[in-house]
Amino acid sequence: MREIHVDAIIAAVRDLCIRANTELGEDVLDAFRKALEREESPAGKDILKRLIQNAEIARTEGVPMCQDTGFAVIFVDMGQDVRIVGGGLREAVEEGVRQGYRDGYLRKSICHPFTRQNTGDNTPAILHLDIRPGDHFRITAAPKGGGSENMSRVTMLTPAVGVQGVKDFVVQRVKESGPNPCPPTIVGVGIGGTFETAALLAKKALLRPLGSLNPDPELAALEADWLEAVNSLGIGPQGLGGRITSLAVHIEMMPCHIASLPVAVNIQCHAARHKETEL
């Protein structure tokens, strides 16, 4: 049995929240640079250049790249041979988020659904736990902004619509989202499972590094085809017209019920933040 103290978890979560918000991944920066080569719209090019500058300023000055520092979505993948000591896992994650949002001068954006009263410390966090054999302990922090989350949807399609029906739903979603999710976006698609797993698959699809190929060749082909369709919409950077509406489409798929075809589209803005660490 490997023991991990909650203090280590708190410190790791705190750090990840700050770093995710201030250090944009190299994969995303690379995608901006490639997009800049292909963008034809003058406004679009200007925007992509400024996004690269923005990421550089955020990293060197240690300020968040975007003022919406998001809902703290935390993934914990742990081995079943790990024993957590000194307190509870969930409490440790919450405390890490609380400290990270305080110490990193991150915006607290979580409120009561009706009264809109702010909780004051950006908690609760969203915790997704995955337990498998082994003694690993991996934490991913993926702060998610409201603008792009608001444009995301889950639907239960009729199985008969098939691949074309799913593609139509995905492209339509990007079209209707227009400028609101801060394009260029990443489109996470979850297909299969149940209502709620489709949404989780879509979210997990966003964690895959940009520029990586889907290990399933059939899905890789769909990703390329759907990206092409999305980028034919003309929405462009910030929705002001252009070639690059999305940087990538990522698909995660699993089997579903014989009566169902659940599909979720989770839209990620260009502030595609996630950082991970192993304890």
Q: By C-beta, is 181 or 236 nearer to ligand SF4?
A: 181
Q: By C-beta, is 45 or 144 nearer to ligand SF4?
A: 144
83 contacts: CB under 8 Å, gap ≥ 6: 1, 2, 3, 4
63: partner contacted, choices other proteins, ligand SF4, none (Cβ within 5-8 A by kind): other proteins
Nearest by Cα to 119 from 102, 104, 103, 139: 102
Are the CB atoms for 213 and 201 separated by under 8 Å? no
Q: By C-beta, is 149 or 223 nearer to ligand SF4?
A: 149
Which residues sit opposite 163 in a β-bridge?
Answer: none
113-152 residues near other proteins, rule: CB under 8 A: 116, 118, 145, 147, 150
- Of 154, 207, 233, 279, the residue at the interface with other proteins (CB under 8 A) is 233
Position with the least CB separation from ligand SF4: 145
29 is a contact residue toward other proteins (CB under 8 A): no
Percent helix, strand, coil in the chain (nearest 5)? 40, 25, 35
Q: What angle do CA 212, 217, 223 make, to 5 degrees?
A: 60
Cα first-last separation, the chain: 14
Which residues sit opposite 189 in a β-bridge?
Answer: 251, 265
- Site residues (vs ligand SF4, CB under 6 A): 66, 68, 145-148, 181-182, 269-271
- Of 143, 188, 193, 236, the residue at the interface with other proteins (CB under 8 A) is 236
53: partner contacted, choices ligand SF4, other proteins, none (Cβ within 5-8 A by kind): other proteins
20 contacts: CB under 8 Å, gap ≥ 6: 141, 142, 143, 273, 274, 275
Tokens in use for 225?
């085809």
Q: By C-beta, is 71 or 226 nearer to ligand SF4?
A: 71
Shortest Å, Cβ 96 to other proteins: 18
Distance of alpha carbon 110 from alpha carbon 253, whole angstroms: 30
Residues touching other proteins: how many (CB under 8 A)? 51
- Segment interacting with other proteins (CB under 8 A) among 10-18, 64-72, 134-142, 153-161: 64-72
Q: By C-beta, is 5 or 49 nearer to ligand SF4?
A: 49
Shortest Å, Cβ 163 to ligand SF4: 29
67 is a contact residue toward other proteins (CB under 8 A): yes
* The 73-79 sheet, strands edge to edge: 126-132, 73-79, 137-141, 275-278
Distance of alpha carbon 66 from alpha carbon 255, whole angstroms: 37
- Segment interacting with other proteins (CB under 8 A) among 76-84, 196-204, 212-220, 266-274: 266-274
CA 127 to chain centre: 14
Residues in contact with other proteins by CB under 8 A are 40-43, 46-47, 50-51, 53-55, 57-58, 61-69, 105-109, 116, 118, 145, 147, 150, 178-180, 182, 229, 232-236, 238-243, 269-271
